[in-house]
A = this chain, B = another copy of it.
Amino acid sequence: MARKSGSSGTLTAKAIRQQSLALFASHGFSAVSMRMIADAVGVQPGALYQYHPTKQNILVDLMRSHMQGLLETWNTQEIINGAPEQALEQFVRFHISYHITRPDEVFISYMELRSLEPEGFQEIEALRKRYEQVLKAILDEGISRKVFVLEDAHVAAMAILSMLTGVNTWFRSGGRLSQEKIEDMYVAMVLRSSGC
């Protein structure tokens, strides 16, 4: 009825993240109770408050680290400084491969924005905007060099991002198509849609 033998704060913190992520992704934030998370972690509900002040804070932490990881991974990539169509291909492959391996993070980051209170919402939305800007910059460059025939970089960026992120709604690993094959097909469609 007190501290458990073998207990470790860092391990419990990690377990809370993992279990919350899985539960939020499959049931939705509101449908998951602190008791469900506690059960999955193997701990009493009260123990969760040693790690997060509120349930809302768990969600914000998950979404923040997903968006930050996404941005940092892009930024530490070696950027091909070639033609705009090469940059676009690199972006498509990066987006698909990063997202396809993190279905739960992607799901909650795109679906639970409405569950965020104003403060958290603004923080996450700002990170999202920064990522959108990465693609828009590529499209702008291609448009000004007349490599892309796109009329509007913003609309094209929204369309491409929706298309790419949509992979997560139907892809299941071990299916008919390999990840590489899927990337190839999306690269082809995106490049053609941009006019090259």
- Which A residues form the contact surface with B (CB < 8 A)? 26-31, 111, 114-115, 149-152, 155-156, 158-163, 165-167, 169-170, 177, 182, 185-186, 188-190, 192-195
Contact = CB atoms under 8 A, between A and B. Distances in A.
Contacts of A158: 166-167, 169-170
A26 B114 contact: yes
Instruction: State the number of copies, please.
Output: 2
A118 to B, nearest CB: 14
A185 B28 contact: no
Contacts of A165: 162
A40 B100 CA distance: 40
Contacts of A150: 189
Given A114-B28, A192-B195, A193-B192, A159 B152 contact: no
A162 B155 contact: no
Contacts of A188: 151
A115 B27 CA distance: 7
B115 A189 contact: no
Given A30-B28, A31-B30, A31-B115, A166 B159 contact: yes
